[in-house]
Amino acid sequence: MVVDESGRVVESGTDMNSIDTVVCTHGLWAHGTGMYLIKRHLEREYGMKAFIFNYPSVTRTLDENAGRLARFIEDNGIEQAHMVGHSLGGLVILRMLANRYSEVPGRVVCVGSPLRGSRAATILNAKSWGEHLLGAAVPQGTIHGSANEWASEVTRRRDIGSIAGSVPIGVGHVAGPFGEPNDGTVAVAETHLDGAKDHIVVPTTHTGMLISRNVAEQIGAFLRRGEFLREP
């Protein structure tokens, strides 16, 4: 076991800044193609080889999708890789690591992920139609225990960065007004994870994160150096 300067356990001989592979994971009701612009930015601007993991976000549980992600990594012969997840995708990544389905070394960026639970999901899940809309993965990762509870051990083993949006336009308002800063779907406060290495708020909506050059650049910066970009 090797411990880096921040106290996190890393694989022997692994330099996080030299890893050039990244796996991108989409969110709820989405498809892997939604991660294309982030993938392209990381490839063009950072010289990384980016994979897109596509999974059934509604019809499978969080644990099942976490297992699928681990198999995707193994099937593609990936031995070390950073990982980026938008919304539910961030929970899938953290669940895979929490369950130790895969131990590939690398950093993780959660983009608009509800890491401390989801007010919107809790309200919608209580409705008869909302339960079918959310599927099984979201409740398992937010309502029945948040990542802040079940992924705490993961933060001691690797660098986790979280990006929140602050433009309040999105489907989350269907559940009622937030009453606090949010990206239209997830509240800024819900994106915090105890033990995470860095957290930043950017002016964009939940969906807008997928097409924001600023967000893509923040992702690349964290994967390369373990911290986000800030004004001097």
CATH code of the domain in which 69 resides: 3.40.50.1820
The predicted pLDDT at position 79 comes to 96
Please tell me the pTM assigned to this model. 0.93
Domain encompassing residue 163: 19-225
Q: What CA–CA distance (Å, rounded) separates 103 from 96?
A: 9
Is the separation of the CB atoms in 60 and 137 below 8 Å? yes
The predicted pLDDT at position 17 comes to 87
Burial of residue 93, with CB atoms counted within 10 A of its CB: 0-12 exposed, 13-18 middle, 19 or more buried: buried
Beta pairing class for 9-10 and 2-3: antiparallel
The predicted pLDDT at position 3 comes to 45
Whether 13 is covered by a domain: the verdict is no
Whether 11 is covered by a domain: the verdict is no
Q: What CA–CA distance (Å, rounded) separates 48 from 20?
A: 5
Percent share of the chain, pLDDT over 70: 94
Whether 188 is covered by a domain: the verdict is yes
Whether 150 is covered by a domain: the verdict is yes
List, for the chain, all residue ranges whose pLDDT scores fall below the cut of 70. Answer: 1-13, 173, 232
Whether 14 is covered by a domain: the verdict is no
Give the CA-trace dihedral at 205, 146, 216, 184, to 10 degrees.
Answer: 0
Whether 88 is covered by a domain: the verdict is yes
Whether 232 is covered by a domain: the verdict is no
Count up the domains in the chain and report the number: 1
Alpha-helix runs per DSSP H in 47-176: 62-75, 88-98, 119-125, 128-134, 137-138, 147-150
Whether 202 is covered by a domain: the verdict is yes
